[in-house]
Amino acid sequence: MRFLLVEDNAELADAVVQRLGLDGHAVDHAGTLAAAEDCLAVAEYDLILLDVMLPDGDGRDFLSRHRDHLETPVIVLTARSQISDRVGALDQGADDYITKPFDFSELEARCRAVLRRRGGAAKNEITLGEAVFDPMAGTLRHGAQVLDLRNRELRLLEVFARAQGQILSKGQLLDRLFSMDADVTENAIEVYVGRLRKKLDGVGVRIETVRGLGYRMDT
């Protein structure tokens, strides 16, 4: 999935980007609200992690301006521990909050919970043919076997799983899998799709090439 992190602390931002990247997520980092506006103008995100105190304004004002038309879930990152601050963030449209300093495992868990709620699911699992996919845990089970998928393959499978039957272009897949500063081309998508196809062989899931348009997953 693709996340936008709005955080002016470079050390913390780098740590968050690296940690979420280990799970195969693409994370764009904006150090100011102006940079965040630029990111939103050119990309779509599955989740926004939003700091409150930023050099050019308050993250909660940014949230208030966008919430009426922005459906992307938002987790507010705040150093303020007062209940009134947390309640205020939720009332202004945040889907959740986490207080700094935080443990990365808690951040990951809150991201999973928010994405699960936004998807309308009571649990993480998605049935794909004869297999059961849990995108949050990063597992694909076929009977008693857990198939070995690397992180980027898992995230590609997640994109397809949430858009079954839809045609996704190479450009769309590239946007979902890689951040803005990643030096990759659409050829990388061909490679990952090829790898994923091999690992899905025999589980009742097919990734079809739609000539001139992209790919489509059918079960």
Task: Give residue 135's pLDDT band: very low, low, confident or very high (50, 70, 90).
Answer: confident
Is the Cβ–Cβ distance between 35 and 59 less than 8 Å?
Answer: no
pLDDT, one tens digit per residue, over 97-117 is 999 999 999 999 899 888 878
Q: What per-residue string of b and e applies to 141-157 under the rule 16 or more CB within 10 Å gives b?
A: bbeeeebebeebbbbbb
| Class of the CATH domain delimited by 2-118 | alpha beta
Collect contacts of 88-93 with beta carbons under 8 A, ≥24 apart.
88/60, 89/52, 89/60, 89/63, 92/60, 92/63, 92/64, 92/67, 93/63, 93/64, 93/67
Both structure tokens of 188 = 């990388």
Residues with Cβ within 8 Å of 29's Cβ and at least 6 positions away in sequence, in order, are: 5, 7, 13, 17
In angstroms, the CA 64 to CA 148 distance is 42
Question: Does domain 126-218 fall into CATH 3.30.930.10?
Answer: no
Q: What Rg do the C-alpha atoms of the chain give, in angstroms?
A: 18
Task: Give residue 121's pLDDT band: very low, low, confident or very high (50, 70, 90).
Answer: low
How many residues does the structure list for the chain? 219
CATH 3.40.50.2300 spans which residues of the chain? 2-118
**C-alpha torsion sign, points 27, 32, 37, 42:** negative
CATH 1.10.10.10 spans which residues of the chain? 126-218
pLDDT, one tens digit per residue, over 162-204 is 888 999 999 999 988 898 888 889 999 999 999 999 999 999 9
